[in-house]
Amino acid sequence: MKLTVLGCWAPYARANGACSGYLVQGEETNLLLDCGNGVFGKLQEAVDFRKLDAVIISHLHPDHFADLFSLRHALKGSFWDGSRDAKLDLYLPGEETEYSFLLQKFSDAFNIYYTEQFTNVEIGEFKVSFFSTVHLLPCWGSVVRGSTGTLVYSADTAWDDRYRQIWQGADLLLCEASGLEKDREYARGAHLTAGQAGQLAAAAAVKRLLLTHFYPEYDLAVLKQEAARYYQEVELVHEGAGYFV
């Protein structure tokens, strides 16, 4: 299983960067986790969008879904020119918001499924299960199991003791780290600080910790230090980089 980080910023990108977007590839499967602003351009450096098998959107904050607009247009163009036949499977949170009403219209390019209705789903060679997170609106993290190991994506979340179990022993935890310790109060109820991400990763005994979802104005060296107090081998993702599970 290969994870390619297409974007890692929130809620807006640094110059030439992108917000949340993570391509997970197996032998024959291409799965996109989140599709935030800037992700569609980066996606095409990694894979032909026509070869995607599914997209899972964790929640309806624009930094996690805004480039569905681009992907929809690209898919419709591919139906028109005959370079792709089938609609693309899209998993969305099912709660009713102004954005979810808008996205219902995307059924001209996507087969839309609502995450709440699934505990497990098979996407190509991957088995994916979802867990609800603690965020400002309904949000789903993912556990992706492949033949070579397990990848956990935290999506956006605040602290939750359940993660000691849900993330237990993951080969790779891709975890949000939205706050520095000095902004802990600001993050409360919505996001993890880097220190909290490190603590949860250690408590769940994950084998590898990758931090993501960075505020563009932060000094990321400080963010890494704060996580490393709890999880020594912590890594920060790099846009465009590939990580193997």
In the complex, least distance from residue 110 CB atom to Zn ion, rounded to whole angstroms: 21
Identify which of residues 10 and 187 has a Cβ nearer to Zn ion in the complex: 10
Q: Between 1 and 65, whose beta carbon lies closer to Zn ion? A: 65
What does the alpha-carbon distance between residue 71 and residue 126 come to, in Å, rounded to a whole number? 22
User: Is-contact 92 115, C-beta < 8 A?
Assistant: yes
Least gap, CB of 148 to Zn ion (angstroms)? 28
Nearer to Zn ion, 78 or 212 (CB): 212
| Residue 134: C-alpha distances to residues 152, 154, 245 (Å) | 16, 10, 26
What residues have CB less than 8 Å from 99, skipping those under 6 apart?
60, 65
C-beta closer to Zn ion: residue 61 or 208 = 61
Q: How far is the CB of 36 from Zn ion (least distance, A)?
A: 7
Radius of gyration in angstroms for the set of CA atoms belonging to the chain, rounded to a whole number? 17
Shortest separation between residue 138's beta carbon and Zn ion, angstroms: 11
In the complex, the residues that contact Zn ion under the rule CB under 5 A are 10, 61, 63, 156
| Ranges of H-type helices in the chain | 39-46, 62-65, 68-81, 98-104, 163-166, 184-187, 194-203, 220-228
Hey, what's the torsion of the CAs at 67, 89, 73, 68, to 10 degrees?
Answer: -10
100 close to 94: Cβ distance less than 8 angstroms: yes
Please report how close the Cβ of residue 169 comes to Zn ion at its closest, in angstroms.
26
CB of 61 to Zn ion, least distance (A): 4
Amino acid occupying residue 109? A
Edge-to-edge strand ranges of the sheet holding 126-132: 120-123, 126-132, 140-146, 149-153, 172-176, 209-212, 235-236
For the bound state, the minimum distance from the C-beta of residue 157 to Zn ion, rounded and expressed in Å, comes to 9
